[in-house]
Amino acid sequence: MANRETDEVSGVETTGHEWDGIRELDNPLPRWWLYTFWAGIAVAAVYWVLMPAWPGINSYTRGVLGQSDRADVAVALKDLQTVRGAQAAKLKTATLQQIETDPELQAYAQAVGQSVFGDNCATCHGAGGVGAKGYANLRDDVWLWGGSLDEIHRTIEVGIRSDHPQTRMSQMPAFGRDQMLTPAQVSDLTEYVVALSGRQANVAAVRRAAPIYQQQCVACHGPTGTGDKAQGAPNLTDQEWLYGSSRADIQGQIWNGRGGVMPSWKARFDPETIKALAVYIHSNAGGQ
Ligand code: HEC
Ligand code: HEC
């Protein structure tokens, strides 16, 4: 050790290391530090014996206590399965109506439905199913195709204007775009629909539109505008709108005759999951 010397102030020998004029005294380590150090090594040695510790090529030292997180998870999963298994088995065989009359099974179905809904349906129907323009609100008691458990179940299975052979299907004509009616007639009909929903409308326009409505619209929306669930034709007399309540929104629909598309889920989910979805939606909405 080249530069060892004795410090003048403390009288302690230095280590010979120097940084920017600062020299290190060669004091012994504090006792408490040393003891902790040795104790740490001792604990580690005991730990290696008791617990899984050292990696090998194909495996690892397992430790004499046999501790394994993997095994713990397996046990926890098995416990969960026994708890759930009974409900899952019931869900397979129960009818929709039976599910809703068995509170425990209903709660289970709702939990399954909620999680599947969040992953697959919320992209279009919004979180919790509150809907958006063009995407049906599933939380209210207004239904295009019917709000009974069976109707909801059917809609989820076959979809709406989907590629399923039995899909729910209907198409409102594009009265304006396809020149079935003149722009003036479409404006008059817009006033007519505004009047149907109980709002102030141009009386002369409504009078002019009445015979056109009777000719062109009753087949789907009904003589008084209350709609037809068999054809997914909305009720025009309520305050709930699929495409918006303003005159521009209404006129746009009469002009373009949009038809929303909802995929069929029959091929994507097993029957239990579709039942769970139907129960989830039915019990969260103003069910019918
Ligand atoms: C790609 C978008 C999209 C996805 C994803 C989607 N839907 Fe829909 N859904 C729609 C549209 C659009 C409508 C309205 C169709 C119409 O205008 O008739 C609809 C309508 C419905 C209806 C009928 C509502 C009524 O008033 O009769 C139900 C029930 C429904 N969806 C459930 C679901 C469920 C459950 C899922 C998930 C498994 C789902 N939807 C996923 C777009 C979607
Ligand atoms: C062949 C059946 C059919 C005919 C005929 C029809 N509609 Fe429709 N209409 C529908 C359907 C189905 C929808 C819903 C479209 C959807 O779900 O995407 C709709 C939606 C609407 C809407 C939007 C409602 C909302 O909640 O946003 C208005 C407004 C409307 N129709 C007015 C009319 C008027 C006015 C006529 C006559 C000129 C007419 N419809 C004729 C089937 C029809």
- Summarised one tens digit per residue, pLDDT across range 144-195 is 999 999 999 999 999 999 999 999 999 999 999 999 999 999 999 999 999 9
pLDDT at 213: 98
The yes/no answer on whether domain 183-256 falls in CATH 1.10.760.10 is yes
pLDDT at 2: 59
The better pLDDT of the pair 34, 10 is held by: 34
pLDDT at 6: 87
Alpha-carbon gap, residue 57 to 40, rounded angstroms: 27
CATH fold for domain 81-165+270-284: Cytochrome Bc1 Complex; Chain D, domain 2 (1.10.760)
Output 154-158 pairs: Cβ under 8 A, ≥24 positions apart: 155/262, 156/265, 156/274, 156/277, 156/278, 156/281, 157/264, 157/265, 157/266, 157/274, 158/264, 158/266
CB 142 near ligand 2, within 6 Å: no
Q: Where in the chain is the domain with CATH 1.10.760.10?
A: 81-165+270-284, 183-256
CB 172 near ligand 1, within 6 Å: no
Nearest listed ligand to the Cα of residue 157: 1
The better pLDDT of the pair 252, 4 is held by: 252
Select from 125, 133, 167, 242 the residue to mutate for testing ligand 1; criterion: most ligand atoms less than 8 Å from CB.
Answer: 125
**Residue range 201-236, pLDDT digits in tens:** 999 999 999 999 999 999 999 999 999 999 999 999
pLDDT band at 17; cut points 50, 70, 90 = confident
Nearest listed ligand to the Cα of residue 196: 2
CB 170 near ligand 1, within 6 Å: no
Mean pLDDT of 101-105: 93
Q: Looking up tokens 């939606």, which residue turns up?
A: 281
Ligand 2 geometric centre to CA of 157 (Å): 23
CA dihedral 61, 63, 67, 73 (to 10 degrees): 10
CB 209 near ligand 2, within 6 Å: no
Ligand 2 geometric centre to CA of 138 (Å): 19
CB 221 near ligand 2, within 6 Å: yes
Ligand 2 atom at minimum distance from 189 CA: 35
